[in-house]
Structure 1
């Protein structure tokens, strides 16, 4: 992995442009230190939209994913889940926007569809980890539904709830960045504030979102979820700037297919495919893969550097709190926002993408690794001859955490690839750049081909990462 990342440095577009970021960085810093928002109702409304999209999408996607997990052993179901989750939420948003406009339906489906595929895969993996002995007590004629209800669900219920809670946090980030394509969530106001240089307002939005994530444990209560769902339906925004002329059948039967294919012109179709491969598919594919590989390895380096800052065993029960705050900020800030800020500071290249993906994913994995370290530290008896400081980090904690860290890293590999592709919306020459351009030019056939290529690439990388986890790390592969 490290060798591939070093080779990728020679082909990736990571040029540092001659910009003077310090003045702009100072303004952003002051905006974060002195946040201000003149229109409080608009801020609360954006927060409400962000939560509403995320909550309703997860409320539908989780049960659908549970049903898919029950039949995940069927190959068509596995392929369906892989196809759904391999396309980023923003790409799904761009697709549904052509049919439903800037509407609540677009926002909900953009999150719901890929999350259903993710829930199906992860819930199935949770089921695979459960003991098989309880199923042997059921009558042979018991149906699959009964077997799941009486054996798998009771054993895995806490794990299912825990993952659903985590996925809701992911949905909040996805909902926020849907604002970058025009939906009225936090991302819409963030983009506007950054473009206009209103960094105090941007700081207020970021702090509001971080507080929303940090306070999940207090306001996300099971008994309150029915009330939240009712409120979320009431909060959904109206359709914006769309006359309702979208046609699903027109889109799937005509718009996404090249004219040469519809006309039965084989030679013209071959010319079109050749042009697309040489001018868009191959350049976008190469840059996406190169940036992904560098970001994955840099993520691993950042995990090794930052997880000790939040580990009780390494820095103590008091000093770990600043580290946990740092990791909270890194893992809670959407990658799109980090890239947007870094583009202002470093110029338009792939370097902001690499840094943003490494910071976000490194913060997330470091948080999980530090939690695992704390949990083991509580249950393990401290010996008088235990090393401390750097020796404890190098010879005790890191060797114990390293296998799980690699498993998390391999799991996030596919996620980083999806994020690398979508960053093209901000002008980076990955696959997302060509997809966004195709939608802007109303060339849906080009956009569809590029999205299919992106999905296939994600499926391949997900398959490779899963094999690596299972072969190299059998005890922590799930």
Structure 2
């Protein structure tokens, strides 16, 4: 069904390939990646440190907040609140908070921790649902619900909670990096500047630094070092650039984000404004966002099927799987915005760079998880001597075993791909993000608020649909033990 929908979307999506001559520029990019150079090591260290600082502090605040919300997740109001905040991309939250607090540490932290709190609440609640209820029988009747969680569910779920928090920190590093695209002094700021100025050796140095940061998380993130990292992160936070006026908050939410006609009680004028916005911006941006999302979703599945065997012990071998795993590390660690920027040099300014960037990034991430599941199973069972090898093994053993979980992972990423498709508009692609970014540049907060609300509502609907499809395909019944770590963003 998804494949048929994606094929139909091809007729309406802007996937034009413009006549460009990018090969000389791409050659320079390749040379920059192979021969990276950075003449100001202090600036590079500061950018890496501030990227980590935003990510670490945001996770340190949002994880406990999400844990508290997960205990109340049975309340519909809490579920709606969490769904609303996690449906808005970190870049959009950054644009909102930048109007209130300028280019400040407050803007960067809130942009990450607000949506992450909603994600933590949802995933932690689902982790708790998977735990045994038998220990509750030992507790006194009428005990405080928080104490029930403290003495029964949290101890059972603690390994899964820690595992997901570690994974979420990796996501926070990527989110912190791309906040540089709106001016915060993280790695993304220097990356965007280097690419726009054609300084590809500097861009290569930044990309390699970020890949190294992601690849070595397991070595430098140690529980006993967390307090030291927290103190260092607070010290590394940047100073405010612009303004920091908390008193402006009330004016912003009570006046600036509403059209003038609505504030003046002119209902007819407000309806006319909303109708004009729908026809000129909401509908065109919505259509292109959905079309690109569905094409990228199916292409992501194809990328997974093509690349996951390269990183598995059973098909690539114990030695040759490492180049495959390195390829998956590059794909899942490189921000989609950077991939899309490179593809724009090759294909021109259309939706095609966004589709390719989204498919490669998400395909690399899901392929990494599928390959890990394959290696875990391969190491825990005795292989039969008559099992087929090569293409036959791929077609008749590995892929049928991995496909249900892969489909579940793909449905989990559907909402994420939709949010990422929207923010691609910041690069000039005609999705909802294009109109949102334009509204902020024109200081039209009423337009920006309407478009962000539409984006959030669309994400909530897609998330609901993906959950229904997971139940229909019975994908949940074949999840791996650590699949709770896959409900991303």
Question: TM-score over 0.5 for the alignment?
Answer: yes
- Residues of 2 paired with 1:256 and 1:425: CA distance? 20
- Residues of 1 paired with 2:247 and 2:78: CA distance? 29
Deviation at 1:242, TM superposition (A): 3.0
- Residues of 2 paired with 1:369 and 1:25: CA distance? 31
Task: Work out whether residues 314 and 393 of structure 1, in 8 Å CA contact, stay in contact via their aligned partners in 2.
Answer: yes
Aligned position for 1:57: 58
Deviation at 1:342, TM superposition (A): 1.3
Deviation at 1:16, TM superposition (A): 0.4
- Residues of 1 paired with 2:45 and 2:245: CA distance? 28
Describe how 1:240-279 pairs up with structure 2 within 5 A.
240-242=241-243, 244=245, 247-279=248-280
Describe how 1:416-431 pairs up with structure 2 within 5 A.
416-431=417-432
User: Cα distance 1:137–1:317, how it changes in 2: closer, same or farther (>3 A)?
Assistant: same
The answer on 1:118 being equivalent to 2:127 is: no
Task: Work out whether residues 101 and 246 of structure 1, in 8 Å CA contact, stay in contact via their aligned partners in 2.
Answer: no
- Residues of 1 paired with 2:283 and 2:216: CA distance? 44
Deviation at 1:136, TM superposition (A): 1.8
Deviations 1:243-289 (CA, angstroms, capped at 9, x unpaired): 74871011011100110001000110011011000000000000000
- Residues of 2 paired with 1:392 and 1:195: CA distance? 45
Deviation at 1:417, TM superposition (A): 0.1
Deviation at 1:241, TM superposition (A): 3.1
Deviations 1:51-71 (CA, angstroms, capped at 9, x unpaired): 000000000000000001111
Deviations 1:177-228 (CA, angstroms, capped at 9, x unpaired): 0000000000100011001100000000000000000000000001100100
SS in 2 for 1:475: helix
Deviation at 1:474, TM superposition (A): 3.4
Task: Work out whether residues 101 and 239 of structure 1, in 8 Å CA contact, stay in contact via their aligned partners in 2.
Answer: yes
Aligned position for 1:230: 231
- Residues of 1 paired with 2:416 and 2:374: CA distance? 24
Aligned position for 1:154: 155
- Residues of 2 paired with 1:142 and 1:315: CA distance? 54
Deviation at 1:142, TM superposition (A): 1.6
SS in 2 for 1:242: coil
Task: Work out whether residues 98 and 246 of structure 1, in 8 Å CA contact, stay in contact via their aligned partners in 2.
Answer: no
After superposing the two structures, state which structure 1 stretch, 438-447 or 236-245, moved more: 236-245
- Residues of 1 paired with 2:295 and 2:243: CA distance? 41
The answer on 1:366 being equivalent to 2:358 is: no
After superposing the two structures, state which structure 1 stretch, 141-150 or 283-292, moved more: 141-150
Aligned position for 1:19: 20
Task: Work out whether residues 24 and 345 of structure 1, in 8 Å CA contact, stay in contact via their aligned partners in 2.
Answer: no
Aligned position for 1:335: 336
Task: Work out whether residues 439 and 445 of structure 2, in 8 Å CA contact, stay in contact via their aligned partners in 1.
Answer: yes
- Residues of 1 paired with 2:476 and 2:335: CA distance? 31
Q: How does the TM-score come out when normalised to structure 1? A: 0.99
SS in 2 for 1:354: helix
- Residues of 2 paired with 1:6 and 1:243: CA distance? 48
Aligned position for 2:107: 106
The answer on 1:70 being equivalent to 2:64 is: no
- Residues of 2 paired with 1:208 and 1:248: CA distance? 37
SS in 1 for 2:206: helix
CA RMSD of aligned residues (A): 1.0
- Residues of 1 paired with 2:372 and 2:21: CA distance? 39
After superposing the two structures, state which structure 1 stretch, 234-243 or 261-270, moved more: 234-243
- Residues of 2 paired with 1:120 and 1:132: CA distance? 20
SS in 2 for 1:231: helix
Task: Work out whether residues 315 and 390 of structure 2, in 8 Å CA contact, stay in contact via their aligned partners in 1.
Answer: yes
Aligned position for 2:310: 309
Deviation at 1:134, TM superposition (A): 1.5
- Residues of 2 paired with 1:31 and 1:446: CA distance? 40
After superposing the two structures, state which structure 1 stretch, 207-216 or 379-388, moved more: 379-388
Aligned position for 2:442: 441
- Residues of 2 paired with 1:248 and 1:168: CA distance? 29
Task: Work out whether residues 422 and 431 of structure 2, in 8 Å CA contact, stay in contact via their aligned partners in 1.
Answer: yes
- Residues of 1 paired with 2:118 and 2:397: CA distance? 38
Aligned position for 1:475: 477
Deviations 1:444-470 (CA, angstroms, capped at 9, x unpaired): 000000000000000000000011112
- Residues of 1 paired with 2:304 and 2:476: CA distance? 21
Q: How does the TM-score come out when normalised to structure 2? A: 0.97
Aligned position for 1:377: 378
Aligned position for 1:466: 467
Aligned position for 2:34: 33
Task: Work out whether residues 100 and 246 of structure 1, in 8 Å CA contact, stay in contact via their aligned partners in 2.
Answer: no
Deviation at 1:441, TM superposition (A): 0.4
SS in 1 for 2:477: coil
Describe how 1:288-327 pairs up with structure 2 within 5 A.
288-327=289-328
Deviation at 1:315, TM superposition (A): 1.0
- Residues of 2 paired with 1:404 and 1:19: CA distance? 40
Deviation at 1:476, TM superposition (A): 3.8
Q: Which of structure 1's runs of 4+ aligned residues deviate more than 6 A?
A: none
**Count of equivalent residues:** 478
- Residues of 2 paired with 1:367 and 1:427: CA distance? 30
Aligned position for 1:164: 165
- Residues of 1 paired with 2:109 and 2:454: CA distance? 24
